[in-house]
Each structure stands twice: as C-alpha cells, then as structure tokens.
Structure 1
Amino acid sequence: MPSQITRQITRQITRHVLTIPARGPKPARKVHYRRCGSGPALLMVHQSPRSSAEYAELMREWGAHFTCIAPDTPGFGQSDPLPGNPEIGDFADAIMEFADALGIAPCPAYGFHSGGIILVTAIKRRPQAFRCLAVGGYAIWTPEEMRIFGESYLPEFVPQPYGEHLAWIWNRILEQSWVFPWFDTREEARLPIAHADVAQVAQTVSEMLDAGEHYRAGYGAVLRAPRDIPPAGEDVPPCLISAYGGDPLQAHIDRLGEMPASWSARKVATPKEHQDTSLAFLQEHVGDAPCGALPEDADEGWLHLDDGLIHWKGKRGGRLQLHAPARELADPGEGALAIDVPGHGQSSDFADMRAAVKAAADALGAQGIDWPAPPPGDPEALYPDMTPDRFGLYLQRAWQTARAEAFFEPWYEANATHAVPLSPEAIATPAVHARSLARVRAGDAARRWHDTLAQIQGET
C-alpha cells in the first residue's frame, strides 16, 4: 500500500552500510540505511515487501525537523536477512540492535504497516528506547483472515527458467491496489484506491525482487504477529496510530481494544492527513538533542558527489575495477576497489559518466582505473528498452536478453556463427535472474556506459 505522496523537495539523502557484530549464535549482518535532514534522530521503519527507499520523499520533507534514519529491515533492500525462521520479536530486536549500534536511543520512531507492527513490538519489549511512536495502520487479523492469508498470501518466490516469476510479480504488485488480499478477486475485496501507476508498481517490484525469497520471512513474521499493544495500565512512551481512507487497515482501528493511557488511535481522510498528523505528534513528543555523526563500515558505502551517489566496495587506495554495461559490481579482489558505475546497481545516474567515475576514483584514492572494453555488437541492439510499461513487458525483455547471453555473443545474433560454448554456470536460473535484474536497474544508462567505454577505447 502507498505510504507517501510525492512532493518536490530537494534535501539530500545519503546511504550507508553498518555491520552489526555477531552476538552469540547470531551471525554478523549488514544493515543498509538512508539518512536525511538535521535535528533530533527519527527512526523510520518501512513496510513489507518494500525497503527504506519508499520513504525517500517523506524523509526529504520531514528532514526539515528531524535527522531521518531509515534502515532496510533484515532481508529487504540491501540488508542481510536474519537466520532461521525469524518471528516478529526477532525483527523488533534487530531494529533495536541497529538503533543501539547507531547510538540514537531513546528516539522517536515512525512505521507504516509492517514497520509499525515491528515498532509496537519493540516499544513493548524496550520502552526506554523510545520517546514516542507514530504508526500508519496496525493490523489485528481475525482467525478467518489469517486462514486466508496462510493459504495464498506468501507463495514461494523461486525464479523460473523462462521468467514466469516476473509476470507473476508484476501482476501481484499491480493488483494489490485493486483488491486486498492481492489474490482475492471477490467483489467484496475491491479497494477504493485502485490504480495502474507504472512508476509506483515498478519501484515496488524492484524492491520485492531485491528481497527475493527472503520476503516471505519478513512479511510472514508481521502477518503472524499477535496483537502486541502494551496493557492498558502500562507506563510506556506515547503512541499515535492512524489510518487513512482507502487503507485496508483503517477498519482495524476499531479492533485495537484497550491501550495505555498515552496511546490513541484515529481515522483520517487522506495519506497527507495521516502524514501531517503523525509529524505533529512526533514533534510534540521529541527532544531537542541534535543527531551527530553516525557509524558506518569502512569497506563499503556511497560517495556523495555533486549530482548523486556512487556505491563502492573494497579498500580505499586500491585499484578501481569497473564492470561492463548492464552489469553490477562484483566483490573486488584483495586490496582493490569496485563501484557500481553511474546509473547501474545502487549508484545514481550522472550526465557525465566518465567524469563521475574519475571523481569517485579521486575520492577513494584509487591507484588507477581498469576501464573495460565495450562488449562486441551493435549498441542499438545490445540494450533493449528497459522502460517500465503498463504490462510489465520490460521484465520479460530483460529476462530473454539475459538468457540469450548464455547462448550467443552478441546475444541478439541467434545463429551458429555467434554461438558460445554453453556453460552450466551461465545458463543456471539464478545467474540469468541476476543478469536480468542488473539490466532492469541499469535501464538506458547501459547504452550510455557502452558509448563512454567506446570513446575511451578510441582514445587509446
């Protein structure tokens, strides 16, 4: 479900990675988070199966009042999953481990849908870690609803050899605004907020593809979560739960039952009213201590250049390794560096790709750059259009292209002359899946990167 409205706000969002150390049987895990704004820290937890990217516009707006900090929850976005079969308490503990690692507790927090459920469990377990909590919809499922969800809501996500899973994921996300649950085609399940917003669907599809099969763990944990609202007489930080018209969880406001005296719930008309009400509540209860520098890993991060962000990994001062068009960074060799080149992977796009790479190399202290040669073939044919469309056909173009690459070079020359030896590793479905996602993320930047490499090659 949508949790924000679009606004033209330009505050810079930065991105970071922080490794939570191993604790007992818990392995070390990486957490990716976004930061924006200034002032007191505000912890923001996204819904499933999204990532912190869903809060980008809201962070730019609320960044006028807070230092907005939004992690990808475990298994979503660019964060590592939790081991085993985690439940809601494990996700709540994971969020608190992250807040502790940053040193921002006690702080206010905001969560929408799944994010709110995680935070309610967290505030019940560790009330001293919060100043207040604003929640967008809190689910109280009936036994019959749970039965329906259990049967169909979380099917396995297993990439198929011919890309059938991509047709499913497009329609599953698209139709989630038409009916709820997404698979329920009864007239009674219709939603009043139906849309065919290609950009919104494509963004959610991208985030769900990032999560892959891990979406079932995080989504399942919140669906199975019991009503975890603290008892009526308990002394806990204040909380506001609100839900707007058209949100399936607005009806759940009537199911909340007794709550602590400092907790309240209300129905509002629109997403904007929900956000404005939440912001006013958070401002009322927040402290005034500013948020300072936050810790992050030394071997991975995002460079903040004038026009955007460049994702990098490796050892600063090493030689910079660049990948081919429509690909993404691989873990660099010992002592080396790698980046997602502009417009690819987790890097922003840049008008001047060559200048951006050189700026990244300078910022990382790279001892030289390994420029790859452009792949053979006609650039007009090598990079089919990856613009999202109403029917999700761009996903199939990416898949068919990635699969053909295992048979021919260039991929579009399907004949014996251009056949390449068949490699089990290259034709394996997970490998095709990874290449197709890299193409989708690169979009038209792949062709421009090809042209940049061809120009560099012509100069040497």
Structure 2
Amino acid sequence: MGSDIYKGFVNVGKGQVHYRICGEGPPIILLHDSPRSSVLHLPLLKYFSKEFSAIAIDTPGYGNSTPLKKDEQLEIVDLANALSETILGFNLEKCPVYGFHTSSKILLEFAARHPNRVSLAIMDGLSLPDGDTDHDFIANYMRPFKITNSGSYLAEEWTRVRDFQRWFPWFLKSGKTRLLSNQRNMEFMHAYCMDLFMAGPHFSDAYAAAMRYKAAKVVPKVEAKSVFMARQDDVLYPFLDSLPKNLQANCSVERLSSDIEHWKLRLLELFRENSSSNSAKNFIPPNPLSNPLEGNLITKGYVRTKEGQVLIRRCGNGKKIPILFLHDLPGSSRGDEGFIKLLSKDRIVYAIDLPGCNDSDKIKESNPKKYIDSISQVITELNLEKIDLISAGISTSLAIKFSSLYPDKVNKIVLDGIILGNESYRNEISKNYLTDLKPKIDGSHLHACWHMIRDHSIQWPWYDGTKNAIRRIDPELDAMNIHARLVDTLKQWSNAYDPIKASFEINTEEILPKLKQSTLLIYGENDPKYSWVEKASSLINQCKTYNYCADKNALATNILSYLDDS
C-alpha cells in the first residue's frame, strides 16, 4: 500500500463507515473531532504510515459514513457501540485507538465498555466540565443545520464556519471570547466547510452527545490501558487538572508541550509500544462491493484504476446482465440513488462517480481517452463480462464513445439527454457549463454553485436566460438533492470541469451511425434539454425512444422492459 492514502468503506449493520488508510503493518485507528471528518487526519496518516496501517474513520453521520438511526437522540454510548462494530467490521480483535476532542469521549466510553477490544486508548483533549449540563449552551452552540428551499442556509452556515475560527463559543461574540489566532487560509476553510456540509443536519449528533456526556464519572471505571493527554496550546489542556485522582493502574496522564513534532513523535512511540507485531501485520480491509449490504440498500466501495480510485455504488442482485450507470455532470451518482434502486429489482446496478467527481480521484491528464480507459478498468476490476449502459446528460457522450470502442462489452445503451452539435456549438456550451467555483472568503462560491445546480432543472443550458431555454416541465427542486449535488461538486471544485470538457470534446454525431448496439433515447416534450433526440434517432441504426413524463417509477419500468426485450 505504501505511502499513498486510499479511501474505503466497511459494512457496519445496515450502513457503512467510510475511512482513509495509509501504510502497511499493524493497524491503528484515528478518530476525528466534530464536525470534521477523516480529512482532519491526512497529515497523521502519512506520518504513521511508515510503520502502521493507519486508519482514520468518519464517525457515523460525518464525512461519508451512514448516520446512526434511532428514535431518540443519540448519546455517546451509541457512538461507542458503533465504534466497536466498526472495528469488528475490519475483522480486527483489538488495536490502538486515538481520539481527539469530541471523539475522545467516544473512545472513553468504548474503552470502558469494551476493555478487551482496545490495546491502547489515547484520549487527546478530553473535556471534563463541572456542574450540570447546560442545555441552553448546547442549544445555542448546536443551532440546527437546516437545508432550505431558498438556499438561505448557505450564508448562515458559511458565517458559522468562519465564526468557529474566531470566537469560542462561536455564538458569544465579545472581546473575551475572541480567539487570538491568525485567520485560517482558504484551503482549511473550504475543507472545514465541506465537512460541515457533508454532516449537514447530522452535524450535531456526536457534537451535542459529547457535550451532554459526563466523562468524569466514567474515567475512574476504565480498565483498558489508557493515556489522557493534551498539548499546552490546546484550549482543553486545563482539563487535565480535572481528571480524577483515582485512575486505574493502566491509566496515565501526559502533559505535552505545544511542539507539534514532539506530539507526533510521542504518539508514534505509544503506538509502537502497544501494537502487536504479529496481530494483523499484513492488514487488508474487506471489500464491501464483493459482500454487499443485504436488501435494497446501496453499498459503496472503491475500485482502483491506473489513475486512482473510483467510487462505486452497488445495488441489487440477480443473474440478468448488470447495469452500469453514468451520472450527469457536475456532481455524482448520489442524487440518483433512488432511481438506481428502481433499476435493481432483478439485476445488479453499478453506478460510477466519474473521476474528479465527489470522492473519485482526478485524472492527471484529462481527455476523453483517459475517462474511457477508467470506465473500462472499472468494468474489468468488477469482473463484468457484459453490461447494459445507462447514462444521463453530459456523460452520454462518454457512454457513446465507450460503446463504440468496446462493442463486445456493451449489450444495450440507454441515453437520457443526448447532446450533439458541431465543434463550435460544443465548445460554446463547454466553456459556459460550469460557474466559477473557486472558494472565496465571502462565501459567494456556494451561492453560485447552488444556483447553477438549481437552474439545471429550470432552463437548458442552465446559463441561458432566453425564453427558448425554458424547460416547460415540473422542475426537480428538492432541497436535499440540490445540497447533495452541491457538496459533491464542490469537494473537488478545481477538477469539476475536467469530465465536462472531456465529454464535449467527443463528436457524438460522427460515432452514432457506427454504433452496433440497440439504443433507447429518453426525451421530454417541450424541453430544450432533449432538442437533439430527433436527430440522434435518425443517425442510430437500432433506436427506440421513450417520452419521459417526470415519473421515475414509469421510467425505470420502461427501461427494464427495453433491456429485457430480445
């Protein structure tokens, strides 16, 4: 595995926990604070990778991990039990675990309940507040993350991201609460914002649970080998003085200087001392795509290609020819999960997040051939001999090109929103199809992205304000779907244009007459998005059309009927 950082999912119950991993050797696990994700530990993963399989997991409800479902509010015990199941999901008996700030409380409860499952628990920055729980403080600090139809939440949440770095607590703005530190750079601000936006309405799950948690009552009960530590520059450093005096024999307290390098070295020493050289030395995480979640659930995993990792969604079972689904651009296939489930009634559906989208690694030299090669490698890695290929919007060009180059791999093709046109027309759309997404200190990039995505359902192309561009349809303006697509577009804002550019470089009109596969074209009346369907149908030798009327169930039923028709 070397020094490269890879991403993965591990199946836990009816959901999945996302993680990042680097290195080889005995496994160690790193937990992040709230509302962050495993992105927080990227530097530590590299640092520990020389001797360990360093794993940083996304707490359930954060990053890409499935939120925990419970009728009542979540508590630390729920997250501790989820951690136990996650470690079991990795097929590990025990290993060292490091927790930071809020996650140190998850680790504390885990160590108390499962002392035989952790070889060392390192709790860095454990808060031990006095007195009763201040519910008013929690309510103010954890102001709900409410995704609105108007997009007004974007300004509120970007302001909160900035204020998190300015005051503590962020909602009490005074000279006394001002944090005396330099303003964070835009790279940090964007990463923090994406973590907060990924958690969304779940951002307070672990955060609020940690504030309610009475750690001081649990500390004396911990029998697992544990270290309570903090650096002097940590705002929670004073809580080391609040630790109970009657710690168990296996527990110790370490007060560290503000020196980052000394802190990392001390962690490395602790991991060395408490990792078994024989236990899971050649640790290999399980592959969730080969052992998917049961029922009609989406299972996510990564496939490695020459260009990097590609995120895959899998759903369904059955012996019929599997479907490969390519999503519209920009964004990912996350917003298509409901449709993917409808298509998976009696066959397996695999949905690719194209390279450079969401959490799929970018392609270094972006061109159509690289994307086609990536799709081909995914099919090979999934051991698929033949597929039915479904694509939407901009990615239809990639589907057409792939089908022409690999006729023996593709059985039938379904194209929803095919785009033709000469080079001049395609270049004009290509250069305007993505708004400026570069993160800005005023947060305007969030609004620009949100309106771009929303306008896709209102006019086509989205940037065309003339009456000829009006889509006379019932627009799909679900706030949660717009939010998901916004997040999955902005995660790799600097790479979002690459697959769009590559797709528009393909001259589909030249390829269509050469297609050997039967093809179904989806169209909609009074919708300029489908203005090329009539011409495309005249160019394809074996072609059928279907009029889509905003009924996803009917669309899925007709597509499956077409695929089954011999």
Q: TM-score, normalised by structure 1?
A: 0.89
Aligned 8 A contact 1:133 1:282 in 2: no
Gapped runs of 5+ residues in structure 2? Answer: 293-299, 398-417, 420-425, 512-566
For residues 74-223 of structure 1, the aligned pairs below 5 Å read 74-84=60-70, 85-143=73-131, 146-147=134-135, 149-223=137-211
Q: Hey, what's the Cα distance between the residues in 2 that align with 1:235 and 1:406?
A: 55
Aligned 8 A contact 1:10 1:60 in 2: no
Residue 483 of structure 2 corresponds to which residue in structure 1?
433
Count of residues in correspondence between the two structures: 444
Q: Does 1:276 align with 2:300?
A: no
Aligned 8 A contact 2:138 2:208 in 1: no
SS in 1 for 2:215: coil
Q: Which amino acid aligns with 1:48?
A: S
Which residue of 291, 294, 310 corresponds with 2:285? 294
Q: Percent identity?
A: 23
TM-aligned CA deviation for residue 157 of structure 1: 1.0
Which residue of 389, 393, 396 corresponds with 2:444? 393
Q: Give the number of the structure with larger relative contact order, counting CA–CA contacts within 8 Å between residues 6 or more apart.
A: 1
Change (3 A) 1:49 1:125: same
Aligned 8 A contact 2:101 2:125 in 1: yes
Residue 354 of structure 2 corresponds to which residue in structure 1?
341
Which residue of 244, 261, 266 corresponds with 1:257? 244
Residue 332 of structure 2 corresponds to which residue in structure 1?
328
- Residues 357-389 of structure 1, C-alpha deviation per residue, up to 9 Å, x if partnerless? 332233223435555147686222210121112
Residue 43 of structure 1 corresponds to which residue in structure 2?
29
Q: Hey, what's the Cα distance between the residues in 1 that align with 2:219 and 2:232?
A: 28
Residue 31 of structure 1 corresponds to which residue in structure 2?
17
Mean alpha-carbon deviation: is it higher for 62-71 or for 259-268? Answer: 259-268
Max Rg structure: 2
Q: Hey, what's the Cα distance between the residues in 1 that align with 2:255 and 2:133?
A: 23
Q: Which amino acid aligns with 1:409?
A: W
Aligned 8 A contact 2:27 2:53 in 1: yes
For residues 407-418 of structure 1, the aligned pairs below 5 Å read 407-418=458-469
Q: Which amino acid aligns with 2:276?
A: G
Q: TM-score, normalised by structure 2?
A: 0.73
Aligned 8 A contact 1:385 1:444 in 2: no
Residue 318 of structure 1 corresponds to which residue in structure 2?
322
Change (3 A) 1:87 1:311: same
Q: Hey, what's the Cα distance between the residues in 1 that align with 2:430 and 2:62?
A: 34
Aligned 8 A contact 1:243 1:274 in 2: no
TM-aligned CA deviation for residue 147 of structure 1: 4.8
Change (3 A) 1:343 1:231: closer
Mean alpha-carbon deviation: is it higher for 447-456 or for 312-321? Answer: 312-321
TM-aligned CA deviation for residue 422 of structure 1: 4.5
Residue 396 of structure 2 corresponds to which residue in structure 1?
372
Q: Hey, what's the Cα distance between the residues in 2 that align with 1:172 and 1:235?
A: 36
Gapped runs of 5+ residues in structure 1? Answer: 1-8, 22-27
CA root-mean-square deviation: 2.5
Q: Which amino acid aligns with 2:54?
A: C
SS in 2 for 1:292: coil
TM-aligned CA deviation for residue 226 of structure 1: 0.7
Residue 215 of structure 2 corresponds to which residue in structure 1?
227
Residue 443 of structure 1 corresponds to which residue in structure 2?
493
